[in-house]
Amino acid sequence: MNRPPREIDLRIDARWVIAVEPGGVLERHALIVDDGRIVALCPQHDADAAFAAAARVACDEHVLIPGLVNAHTHAAMTLLRGVADDLPLDTWLERYIWPLEARYVSAEFVRDGVELAVAEMLCGGVTCFNDMYFFPDATAAACDAAGMRAMLGLPVLDFATAWAPDAEGCLQRGFEARDRWKHSALLVFALAPHAPYTVGDRTWGTIVTYARQLDLPIQTHVDETRLEVEKSLVATGETPLARLDRLGATGPGFIGIHCVHVDSAGIELLARQGCHVVHCPASNMKLASGVAPVAAMLDRGVNVALGTDGAASNNRLDLFSEMRLAGLLAKVVSGDAAALPAATLLHMATLGGARALGLDRSIGSLEVGKAADVVAVRFGDPETLPVFDPRAHLVHAAGREHVSDVWVAGRHLVNRGVLTTVDRGAVAARARSWQSRLR
């Protein structure tokens, strides 16, 4: 006698599925989801007999991929999008961004900015982001309300900000926020000293101690500009990354953001210590910081993820465009058209990001047992036809405008382009109100 079909929550039938791990492209498969997790990925005709789904979504001209991981951003800075452009990093930060933040940043600013960022990222297929910004409890509340997954970096700077008077205040307020939200299923935390040049040795020592005691990752901007590296060499005789290594900050829990100006000794250090790197090509190009040696880092076995950085230096939170830019940049600087192929870029934007955040056991690929963080991308428009290789299409032909559906932990957060948990009109109205206040 045949067994009755197993009752499950959701079945998604797709023309193509790219699980990322294992690699390759599956055709006409069904992704089976129950209680927020992937329970099977099988040919559609096999699913008919095996499963009875409470809900079924047909993605007949779509590719299913794991949710994209934006491994570095400052989500609330969407409210500063386009406020100061065409400037190098030091001028941009010191003359524009820091004074604006000192004047305007508050819990309300962060909540409104993060809601805007979450709306933008979800519609663009990003299901998890790694944040570094003030008022992380406001970020947590906005993520919780939307059903968005995130790693929240508790920001630390040695000088007074809208968030805290000094590094000690940053840590105290950060830990209070973590205590309030640490049991949330979708949120994890990291320590986020802003950069080697804004945090002194004593504070780095404290951060390293906390990271070990609490088993928290450390994320920081490092070796971002030539000027940063030169100033550090003059002051200490070491590159910023070498200094952090001497202070005990590097290791498998270390996320180095940018790493544009790492030399071969720096790449060796990153590999030896098992560090992760977040490559942010658009931000690095826009601030004229340079080009990170991504192909060399990957060749040496360093895990490299992709990030957008904040909307004030990008100005979009768009992982599709980061994949494409990362690929094109790697090809042009190496003179090798084979550098960073589409499968590698998709891996960086999904499992690479998950690994950097220490979440690769639960997200980053469409494997049985993992959370159902899933994105459907439609290849039905003139600009995405015909389709020979869906992976190359994701990177070089499609864009975030082709994302149709998004699930986080099995929850349908974007349904045929419509946000289900975020009030798009209200978010837009609040963004416009900040536009007049910031003027």
In the complex, which residues of this chain contact Zn ion (CB under 5 A)? 309
Q: Which one, of 369, 364, 328, lies nearest residue 349 by Cα?
A: 364
Closest CB to Zn ion among 15 and 74?
A: 74
Closest CB to Zn ion among 115 and 309?
A: 309
Contacts for 93 with CB less than 8 Å, ≥ 6 apart: none
Closest CB to Zn ion among 284 and 350?
A: 284
Closest CB to Zn ion among 63 and 71?
A: 71
Amino acid symbol at 201: D
Closest CB to Zn ion among 137 and 309?
A: 309
Give me the residue whose beta carbon is nearest to Zn ion. 309
Which DSSP letter does residue 93 get? I
Nearest-approach distance from CB 255 to Zn ion, in angstroms: 11
Closest CB to Zn ion among 18 and 287?
A: 287
Instruction: Check if the beta carbon of residue 130 is closer than 8 Å to that of residue 162.
Output: no
Cα 239 to Cα 256: distance, rounded to the nearest angstrom:
13
* Phi, psi for 110 (deg, rounded to 5): -65, -45
Closest CB to Zn ion among 71 and 146?
A: 71
| Burial class, 234, CB count within 10 angstroms (exposed 0-12 / middle 13-18 / buried 19+) | exposed
Cα 376 to Cα 433: distance, rounded to the nearest angstrom:
33
Cα 159 to Cα 232: distance, rounded to the nearest angstrom:
19
Nearest-approach distance from CB 307 to Zn ion, in angstroms: 8
Instruction: Check if the beta carbon of residue 86 is closer than 8 Å to that of residue 319.
Output: no
DSSP strands (E only) in 84-201: 126-132, 149-156, 187-193
Q: Chain centroid to CA 156: how far?
A: 20
Q: Token digits for 351?
A: 């499992």
Nearest-approach distance from CB 89 to Zn ion, in angstroms: 10
Closest CB to Zn ion among 309 and 318?
A: 309
Nearest-approach distance from CB 280 to Zn ion, in angstroms: 7
Closest CB to Zn ion among 133 and 407?
A: 133
Q: Which one, of 8, 12, 11, 10, lies nearest residue 404 by Cα?
A: 12
Closest CB to Zn ion among 309 and 360?
A: 309
Amino acid symbol at 45: H
DSSP assignment of 246-290 equals: HTT--STTEEEEE-TT--HHHHHHHHHHT-EEEE-HHHHHHTT--
Cα-Cα-Cα-Cα dihedral sign, residues 406, 409, 411, 413: negative
Cis peptide before 386 (omega within 30 of 0): yes
Nearest-approach distance from CB 43 to Zn ion, in angstroms: 43
Q: Chain centroid to CA 435: how far?
A: 25
